[in-house]
Amino acid sequence: MTPDEVAAFLDTERVLNVATIGPTGHPHVVPMWFVVIDGRPSFWTFAKSQKVVNLRRDPRITALVEAGDSYPELRGVEVTGTAGVVDDHDAVMAIGRGVAEKYSGGLPLRDDAIAALEAQAAKRVGITIDVDRTVSWDHRKLTPNTY
């Protein structure tokens, strides 16, 4: 994919599969809702979650977004980099609000939804990914003879 195609894909797809390094050295993989903020895939999660414990110990992260139901439709983006754990309430709230706006289809958030986000933000941290490497693929671009 071109950089513009990667950006459009990340803006429209819904699940970021996040891999961190667990306490035994094995990958710990979880699906997260996410948003891209300032070019960085970002999500929020409970501050005491295993992925946050892992990232505080070792900030290396890999994340995958994929789509397609059959081989000729497969496409995806994998990013690897360094995770930043965001503790500042306003920054955490900005990530939570960005995620909520993305998954509401871009509709404005009602006051009660914002209040709910505020209540959740007290128990959460934000995670931003400083991307070192991006790998992408789009099987829709393959000619039928190549698969």
Q: What is the CATH number of the domain that holds 27?
A: 2.30.110.10
Residue count of the chain: 147
* 68 domain-assigned: yes
Measured CA to CA, the distance from residue 42 to residue 14 in angstroms comes to 12
23-65: per-residue pLDDT in tens? 999 999 999 999 999 999 999 999 999 999 999 999 999 999 9
Does position 106 have pLDDT exceeding 80, yes or no?
no
Give the number of other Cβ atoms within 10 Å of residue 84's Cβ.
18
Number of domains in the chain: 1
- Domain span at residue 113 reads 3-138
- Confidence band, pLDDT 50/70/90 cuts, at residue 146: low
* 147 domain-assigned: no
* 25 domain-assigned: yes
* 143 domain-assigned: no
* 10 domain-assigned: yes
* 144 domain-assigned: no
* 145 domain-assigned: no
Does position 144 have pLDDT exceeding 80, yes or no?
no
% pLDDT > 90, the chain: 90
Whole-model pTM: value is: 0.92
* 146 domain-assigned: no
